[in-house]
Structure 1
Amino acid sequence: MAAEGTDAVFEDEVEPTLTISEYMDGIEAEELEVDLVLGGDDGDECTYGAGYLKRQAVFSCLTCVPDGVAGVCTACCLACHDGHEVVELWTKRNFRCDCGNSKFGGHLCKLNPEKDPVNPGNSYNQNFKGSYCTCSRPYPDPEAKEQVEMIQCCICEDWFHEDHIGLDSAEKIPCDEDGEPLFEDFICHKCSPVCSFLKLYPDSVLASSKQTSASPSQAVAADSNGMEGTEKNENGAPVDHQSVEKTSVKDNSTKDIAASESSNLGDNSAGNCKLGMDINTKSADSEKTMPFFMSKGWRETLCKCGTCTNFYAQRGIAHLTDKDDSIEEYEKMAKQKRKKKLEQQEGAEANFINSLNHVQKIEILSGINDMKNEFQSFLESRDPSKPVTPDEVQSIFKNLAKKKQRII
């Protein structure tokens, strides 16, 4: 029994091992995640010269500005605030880099020292001080037993813990069986009153945790020719709620959602209001404030007539009609930049190889093969349960150097 117990202890102490392929895949995933956060920004140049960017990664340096009323771009975070207490804010809209302006007490930006004293178009919230949610706690929270994921409001851009967003116990955040979100944007309960006009739109613009694909019996009923009891729109055409539901949740297609709403909303092409009413005459919703989870592609359904557009602008939510403002578009742009960067790297490598003569190409290929064999021998000869030491890594390159000397 003692021996079995000892074996169990050793089994628990064995560290998981990774293949080279798994390790490289892990690095690739981490690099992609960084690119998605930074929007593909390499951090080479300060973004101040580009003005108020539609969306960019922003950081707050509490070492330089303890009260947290300034934000810096990725490049300035790396070049001007290395080693400082920096808060990562992910992305902010319509923001211009503050680094080195009047808020920094005379410390000029190393990358772009010629800046206006302030950026009046910037907006700041408690995130810049390292506080989030209605509980105003930091993230990660040193006092929390477990770090709970947070979601960002597309209006105020604050981050919220899932249990602090005003949902009743019976209500859930719209997610699929794998926990992936079924919504594109989140509007917190503090911002939802200014967006109460969204309730004038068909229910399909709001994502729901209860949305699922139709059952076989429902599908048969939807396909049948019987029209009794079928809801119809003002034109007399049947309203297919199953189709709308499938489109907004399963297909996740902006174009399809917009098309599915055409039977429920008016035509906006000639400047007419989709809602067929003056949105200003609708009073704010006096019911309990609740968060909104918006279906994928919901921005495309919003009316853009003159009256509605002015309504959005007066309430500071004009960005809602801009699909490029969404995080989805931001990450799409980041992926495109990453793809282009990788293609450029591959092209540079190919050009380098093509510039070599035959003997040089053979030497490089031989060196790569020697390194591959050396790593293979190293991995086969050692105990996989033990960590790799610096001395072992050095010995690999020493052996490679000895092989090269013997060849010479």
Structure 2
Amino acid sequence: MADTARDAFADEAEGTVTIDEYIEGIEAQELEADLVLGGDDGKDCTYAGGYLKRQAVFSCLTCVPDGLAGVCTACSLACHDGHEIVELWTKRKFRCDCGNSKFGGHLCKLCPEKDSENPANSYNHNFKGSYCTCGRPYPDPEAKEQVEMIQCCICEDWFHEDHVGLNSIEEIPRDEEGEPLYEDFICHKCSPGCHFLKLYPDTIWASGKKNWAVQCDTNEPNMMIGGPSNHANTEKHENGALVGDTVGEKTSIENGSTKDIAVPESKLDSSSGSNCNLRMDVNTMPAPVVTEKSMPFFMSKGWRETLCRCEACTNFYAQRGIAYLVDKEDTIEEYEKIAKQKREKKLEQQEGAESNFLNSLNHVQKIEILSGINDMKNEFQSFLESFDSSKPVTSDDIRSVFENLAKKKKQRLS
């Protein structure tokens, strides 16, 4: 009997939290929301800002069932409250569509004067509420367990880890605790278009528990498919190209013979101007044939800073629609950094407003506020001590608490 009672109290104790723990949990949730929303307070439509480099975007399937429109945070709250909303996290170079021609005559409440369309916006199947190569929704109502998904930094689609073209999810670079070692992920559908990355040193590739084996794809004559190389070899591989330790050259395989490509021996710097760090014109590099064997890329922290910014390479990025890779403001890291700065500024303003409010009160008013706070604390403590924990808390219970507080205030002032 004693053991049963002890177990019951143990179970009850496990379900309790202190007020400090509760506040910490709320603050963590607020921070997470701020990071996703980029610090947007959701008051103003972002349309006037044009095609923002990155912002939180939502799709309203109630208004646009075909998913060919996206709205900003403020419009999702003010214009689409109660609608079927798909949260898309962040999208690059997007302008709010709310109220334009795609919405059947329903004007935006926050910014009614808009162009009929935003031609530079890009839409994928995420806007219809489907993700990955499997086209399933998230969360998936038919899944027994929600599997983690990762976002491609090129097409911005989301993928289940077991649908990214690897033989096993164990090949995804993680540390011993299972935390990701990569900063960016390029899916297997986008990686052929980024084959020029294989000209760069191993430092741009995320390393995992096991180095990837370098695999030769006969359908890709100018490059070998692969990721970080096995440094145990005397002659090392750099992402599919052979590199001697003593020569600053990469060697690619072409028609059964080798072809030298001159590159610096040391780590590449993010050059600008006319001097290319790759010492070659990437525009002359033949594009690989897209095959089912294309592998995803997992990129290391700060890999974008290594990309050459010479005129030829910059033009190369622009022609292929990936100029954002050398734009620092495009990164999720920079997006979240700005969100944190906005949050800190908002908290400072709140603290300042609270301090100014208290300083504006006279002595009697301050005493009244402190007395009210003390009464509320005591009333909640009394309620919790007398409340039957086996029953749910109802609106009548809450109403009773505040009625008692009102009675105490009346007695104190009488």
Matched, 1:61 2:60: yes
Q: What does residue range 84-99 of structure 1 map to in structure 2 within 5 Å?
A: 84-99=83-98
Query: 2:351: which partner in 1?
Result: 346
Query: 2:75: which partner in 1?
Result: 76
How many Å separate the matches in 1 of 2:270 and 2:153?
A: 27
Large movers: runs of 4+ above 6 Å: 3-15
Query: 1:35: which partner in 2?
Result: 34
How many Å separate the matches in 2 of 1:316 and 1:28?
A: 39
Matched, 1:272 2:275: yes
Query: 1:283: which partner in 2?
Result: 286
Q: Provide TM-score, normalisation by structure 1.
A: 0.83
**Residue 395 of structure 1: how far off its partner (Å):** 2.6
> Across the two proteins, how many residue pairs are aligned to each other?
366
* 3-state DSSP of counterpart to 2:171: coil
Q: Provide TM-score, normalisation by structure 2.
A: 0.82
Q: 2:299 aligns with which of 294, 298, 308?
A: 294
> Which amino acid in the other structure matches residue 74 of structure 1?
T
Q: Decide whether the 8 Å contact of 1:59 with 1:73 is kept in 2.
A: yes
When residues 57 and 266 of structure 1 are mapped into structure 2, their CA distance, relative to the original with a 3 A threshold, is: closer
> Which amino acid in the other structure matches residue 282 of structure 2?
I
How many Å separate the matches in 2 of 1:278 and 1:330?
A: 32
Query: 1:242: which partner in 2?
Result: none
Q: Decide whether the 8 Å contact of 2:283 with 2:316 is kept in 1.
A: yes
* 3-state DSSP of counterpart to 1:361: helix
Q: Decide whether the 8 Å contact of 1:17 with 1:385 is kept in 2.
A: no
Matched, 1:362 2:367: yes
How many Å separate the matches in 2 of 1:170 and 1:56?
A: 30
* 3-state DSSP of counterpart to 1:59: strand
Q: What does residue range 3-402 of structure 1 map to in structure 2 within 5 Å?
A: 16-169=15-168, 171-210=170-209, 231-232=245-246, 234=248, 263-265=266-268, 268=271, 271-286=274-289, 288-384=293-389, 386-402=391-407
* 3-state DSSP of counterpart to 2:401: helix
How many Å separate the matches in 1 of 2:118 and 2:207?
A: 39
**Residue 187 of structure 1: how far off its partner (Å):** 0.4
Listed as ranges, the gaps of 5+ residues in structure 2 are 212-231, 233-243, 250-263
How large is the RMSD of aligned CA atoms in angstroms? 2.8
**Residue 160 of structure 1: how far off its partner (Å):** 0.3
Deviations 1:163-200 (CA, angstroms, capped at 9, x unpaired): 00001227521122333221111100000001011010
**Residue 399 of structure 1: how far off its partner (Å):** 2.2
How many Å separate the matches in 2 of 1:378 and 1:368?
A: 15
Deviations 1:373-392 (CA, angstroms, capped at 9, x unpaired): 22233334445565433333
How many Å separate the matches in 2 of 1:32 and 1:171?
A: 31
State the structure with bigger RCO (CA 8 A, min sep 6), 1 or 2: 1
Matched, 1:407 2:412: yes
How many Å separate the matches in 1 of 2:74 and 2:387?
A: 42
Which range moved further: 194-203 or 286-295? 286-295
**Residue 397 of structure 1: how far off its partner (Å):** 1.8
**Residue 5 of structure 1: how far off its partner (Å):** 8.9
Q: Decide whether the 8 Å contact of 1:197 with 1:279 is kept in 2.
A: yes
**Residue 315 of structure 1: how far off its partner (Å):** 0.7
Q: Percent identity?
A: 75
